[in-house]
Amino acid sequence: MRKYGFVWGIPLVLFCIGLLLQILLGDFRIDALAFPRNVLLLIQFILIVVAAHVLFRKRNWFKQLSQFPTALSSIAFFGAIVMAMAFIPQTYETSFASIHALNNTWLFAFSLMYLLTVLLLVQLRRLFPLNRRNLLFFVGHFGLWIAIAASALGQSDKRQGIMTVPVGELVWYAGDNSGKNMELPFALKLERFQLENHPAKFAIINTHGDICELKGNSMHEAGQGINCNIGSYVIQVKSYYRDAVIMSDSIVPEAMGYGSDVALVEVSHYTDNPITGYISNGGPMQSSRFLQLGHDTMLVLLPPEPSYFGSDVLLYTQSGLIASPQHIAVNAPIKAEGWYIYQQAYDQNSGKNARFSVFLVVRDPWLPLVYIGIVMMMLAAIVLLFQKPKYRVE
C-alpha cells in the first residue's frame, strides 16, 4: 500500500485547497458556468486528460493514477462528502463553510472532479484491446462518467419555476427560486381542475389533536354501513356522505364540491350508553365537527387525502400559437418547447372547487446526456447480475 501513498495525498490536498477556497471565496458558483462555458470547460478537461494520458502513460507515477488505489481514493473522497451530507441536515441555510448546503461547496466540486478525472484515466487505459470485457467495463464506467458530468455541468443551464394558473385564465410566466417572474415560450389556460379523494378515515384524537395509538386499530376507513372497532370503541355508521354540508337541523347531501365527508355515527363503549352524532372533516363551507367520547377523547374524520389530481389545460406554444387541449396530472407531465410541465399542487383550501392549479416547469437541456449515462449504467448492471468476480485464494 505504501508505494501508493501519494494517491491518498491527492484527495487530502484537494480537501485542504477546497476548504481554503470555500472560506476565502464562498460557495462554488455552478451557475457561473452557463453555456457555452460549461461545454468549453468539458472539452478542455477531456483534452487535458487525454493529452496527459498520451504523454505520460508509460511513466510509473502516471500508471498508478488509473489503478485500484486511486479508484479507492476517489470513491472515498466523494463518499466522505456524501457521508457528511447524510449526517448533517442539508437545509440550505447560511452556515460556516456551507455545511448545510454541501453540494454548493468547493469540496463537493473537487471530489466530483477528482472522481471524473480518475474515471476518465481508467477508461483511457482500458480502451484497448477492443474485447468484450473492456467493452462492458467501458459501458459501466463511461455511463457513470457521462451521467455525473452531464448532471453537474447541466445544473448551470437548468431553469425551473412555479406557475400558478387560476381557473379560466391564461398564464405565460413562472416564478423562479428568487421569486422573480420569468417569461416562458408557452402559455397555459386552465380549463378545469379535477380532484378525487380517498374515503376519509375515523380516528380518535386527544385534546392536543394527536391521534391516540390504541390497541388493534388506530384508524378505520369510513363508508356507508361500516361497522368497526377503534381500540375498545365500536363505531357504527348510520349514514355517510362524500360531499355534504351540515346545517343547523338538516343535511345538504350533495353540495356541488363545496361539502366535505360527513358521517352520522353511533359509538358504543363497553356498557356505556351509545353516543350518536354527525362528524365531518370540514371543507370550504364548514369547519370540522367531532364527537366527544370522554373528557379528553373525541372521534373525528381525518382530513381527506387526495387519490388523484390533474388539470385540463389549453396549451399555446410560441412556435404554433395553436391552442391544444392537454391533461396534466401527477406522474403524467407534458412537454412544450423544451420544457416539462408537472402538476405540483392546487388550491387546497377550496378542495374540489380549487380556484387555481400549481405547475412546476423545468427546462434541462442536458437531460438527454444524463439519460444516455443512466441507460449505459443500467445495461452494465444487467450484465453484472450474471458475472462473478475473480476470487481470492487462501
Partner 1 sequence: MIWDWLIVFFIAFVALWVTGGLFLFYKKNTVCAKHLPVVLPLIASILLLVFIVIIWIQYNRPPMKTMAETRLLYSFFVSLITWFIVVKTRSSSMYLLGFVMASVFLLVDIAKPEYQSKNLMPALQSVWFVPHVVIYMAAYAVLAAACLSALKGMWNLYVRKKVFVADLNFAMSLIYPGFALLTLGMLLGAIWAKIAWGNYWSFDPKETWALLTWLFYLFTMHAYLGRKLSSKTLLWLLALSFIVLVITWMGIRYLPAASHSIHVY
Q: Which residues bind partner 1 (CB under 8 A)?
A: 1, 4, 67-69, 71-72, 75-76, 78-79, 82-83, 85-90, 103, 151, 160, 198, 201, 217-221, 305-309, 329-333, 340, 342, 344, 360, 362, 367, 370-371, 374, 377-378, 380-382, 384-394
Bridge-partner residues for 166, per DSSP? 356
CB of 123 vs partner 1, minimal distance in Å:
15
Nearer Cβ to partner 1 (58/392): 392
Provide, rounded to whole angstroms, the least separation between the CB of residue 236 and partner 1: 18
Rounded least distance, CB 386 to partner 1, Å: 8
Least distance to partner 1 from the beta carbon of 247, Å?
Answer: 30
d(CA 115, CA 10): 11
Distance between CA atoms of residues 327 and 168, nearest Å: 15
Smallest distance, partner 1 to C-beta of residue 29, A: 18
CB of 291 to partner 1, least distance (A): 19
User: Which of 246, 304 has the CB closer to partner 1?
Assistant: 304
Residue with cell 417572474: 181
Q: Taking the complex as a whole, how short is the minimal distance between the CB of residue 165 and partner 1, in angstroms?
A: 16
Q: Which is nearer to partner 1, 154 or 286 (CB)?
A: 154
Q: How far apart are the C-alpha atoms of 173 and 182, rounded to whole Å?
A: 5
Instruction: Locate 352 and state its grid cell.
Output: 374540489
Residue by residue, DSSP assigns 358-386 as EEEEEE-TTHHHHHHHHHHHHHHHHHHTT
Distance (Å, whole) CA 224 – CA 263: 8
For the bound state, the minimum distance from the C-beta of residue 381 to partner 1, rounded and expressed in Å, comes to 4
Nearest to 330 by CA among 347, 307, 309, 304: 309
Q: Nearest approach, Cβ of 271 to partner 1 (angstroms)?
A: 25
In the bound state with partner 1, the residue whose beta carbon lies nearer, of 199 and 277, is: 199
Closer CB to partner 1, residue 183 or residue 394? Answer: 394
Question: Based on CB atoms, which residue is closest to partner 1, 245 or 315?
Answer: 315
DSSP assigned state of 314:
E
Nearer Cβ to partner 1, position 175 or 306? 306
Distance CA 303, CA 47 (A): 59
Contact 169, 191 (CB under 8 A): no
Query: 50 vs 378, which CB is nearer to partner 1?
Result: 378
Q: What is the DSSP letter of 155?
A: G
Q: Are 134 and 159 in contact (CB under 8 A)?
A: no
Identify any residues that bridge with 346 across adjacent strands, giving them in sequence order.
357
Q: What is the DSSP string of 298-310?
A: EEEEPPP-EEEEE
Residue 124: enclosing H or E segment and its boundaries?
A: helix 106-126
Rounded to the nearest whole angstrom, what is the least distance from the CB of residue 199 to partner 1 in the complex? 9
| CA dist., res. 355 & res. 84, Å (int) | 43
In sequence order, which residues have a C-beta less than 8 Å from that of residue 373 and are 6 or more positions away? Answer: 142, 143, 144, 145, 146, 147, 148, 150
Q: Cite the DSSP H helix spans in 278-359.
A: none
Sign, CA dihedral 340-341-345-351, equals negative
Residue number with CB closer to partner 1 (49 or 150): 150
Nearer to partner 1, 67 or 288 (CB): 67
